[in-house]
Structure 1
Amino acid sequence: MARPPRYNEMLLLDTAVQLAAAAGPAAVTMSAIAKASGVPNGSIYHRFPQRLTLLAELWLRTVERFQDGYLAALRSDPDPLRAGAAAARHVVAWSRKNPQEAAVLLHGPQSFGRDEWPEEFTQRADKGHERALGAVAELAKRLGATTEPDIDQVMLAVVELPLAVVRRYLRAGSPMPLYVEDLAQRCAMDLLASGPFSAGSVQRSESARDRLS
């Protein structure tokens, strides 16, 4: 059997995103995707031999799309305060424009079978995770954050605060208004500018390591 066209793979994953956003990861089954997409079961299994590989690709495609823009925002300005604020804004802006994908990410990778993924998927996930953590660590270094409280303050500004904004609207099923992007950006800028940071190298705490999965 010939390999299905590339657009079929995108269609399958787009359909899986819709199912996961509407009813959670458990709703992403081969039969549900076939019904919703109109793609025959055989074509689905040809591309994804097992459900676990489909779930892994679903998660990785989604998180990588988010991370690409987030990393670009962190490196968008030589001023670390403005770069950090841009990253916080990106979290909200991307989630507002991609509410279904943002809803997928709120479930976390474990909900998509992360502990049972084949090695090629776990390695890909780990590389992306470390890349994102490294970019935040570099921002912290540029800001002069050296202690664990300093680094937690950076994480709060550029990761946890904007995620809290996103979570609030997604869990309520409410669309995010445009002004929340400005709000996240201003709050991040204020929080970063108020940090008692001093020159030195960054030492990431273990408590901060799992916040960009």
Structure 2
Amino acid sequence: MPRPAQFTVDDLLDAAAQVLADGGPAAVTMSAVARAAGAPSGSMYHRFAGRAALCAELWMRTEERFVGGFTAALSAPGDARQRCVAGARFTVAWCRQNPSEAGVLLAGADALGAADWPSAVAARRRRLHRELRRLLKDLHADTDRVNAAVIDIPYAVVRRHLSAGAVIPPSADEIVADCAAALIAD
């Protein structure tokens, strides 16, 4: 009977997110993540074929977690304006509650070697993006305004604080809500 795994994939991805938060995307290596998790390097290679697979799974887990809540906020009852305000507020709240994971998204997929990711992960990412684009398109006729309200402005507001290693202040919630409400007409 094989012994149970001491380190789960989530344990290792949590450690990878922290390594990225502490040292940037280039610091995310198999050995650095193993050290951060207190795991033997064999545990890393048992779960990930290499750095590209590790970074791909780190990105996808983070993006799927974020997009799951984001799409729920955008799909809540209400008119387009209320839903956009909810989406903008969600981004700020999620980043505040998940600063290491927000740092993964802030770094960007390209900084994590997206060009080298396994094809199955790249396909998973394309599906996720198609679903999100469809939701945003169905939300309001002016997709440029929707993108500004729920993506561009919230991202700019949280990026400033996350890049400085600062906590996102409570005022950020109202700023993104006001901007979303102003951009999306009744």
**TM beyond 0.5:** yes
1:140-159 map, 5 Å: 140=140, 145=141, 150-159=142-151
Question: Do residues 189 (structure 1) and 164 (structure 2) align?
Answer: no
Matched residues in 2 for 1:57 and 1:4: separation? 22
Partner in structure 2 of residue 60 of structure 1: 60
- Is the 8 Å Cα contact of residues 73 and 83 (structure 1) preserved in structure 2? yes
Q: Unaligned stretches of 5+ in structure 1?
A: 195-213
- CA deviation map 1:151-192 (0-9, x unaligned): 212211111011110111111221111221122112201211
Task: Find the residue that maps to 1:193 and give its secondary structure.
Answer: coil
* Cα deviations by residue, 1:179-206 (Å, 9 ceiling, x for unpaired): 2112211220121127xxxxxxxxxxxx
Length-normalised TM-score, structure 2: 0.94
Q: Conserved in 2, the CA contact under 8 Å of 1:74 and 1:83?
A: yes
13-22 or 1-10, which moves further after superposition?
A: 1-10
TM-score, length-normalised on structure 1?
0.82
Q: Using the TM superposition, give the Cα deviation of residue 4 of structure 1 relative to its aligned residue in structure 2, in angstroms.
A: 5.6
Larger radius of gyration: 1
Which segments of 5 or more consecutive residues in structure 2 lack a partner in the other structure?
none
Give me the identity figure in percent.
46
In angstroms, what is the RMSD of aligned CA positions? 1.7
Q: Is the 8 A contact 1:4 1:43 kept in 2?
A: no
Q: C-alpha separation between the residues in 1 aligned to 2:154 and 2:57?
A: 25
Inter-partner Cα distance in structure 2 for 1:154 and 1:50: 38
1:163 counterpart (155, 177, 182): 155
Task: Give the length in aligned residue pairs.
Answer: 186
Checking the alignment, whether the CA contact within 8 Å between 1:157 and 1:192 is kept in structure 2 is yes
Aligned residue in 2 for 1:34:
34
Q: Is the 8 A contact 1:3 1:47 kept in 2?
A: no
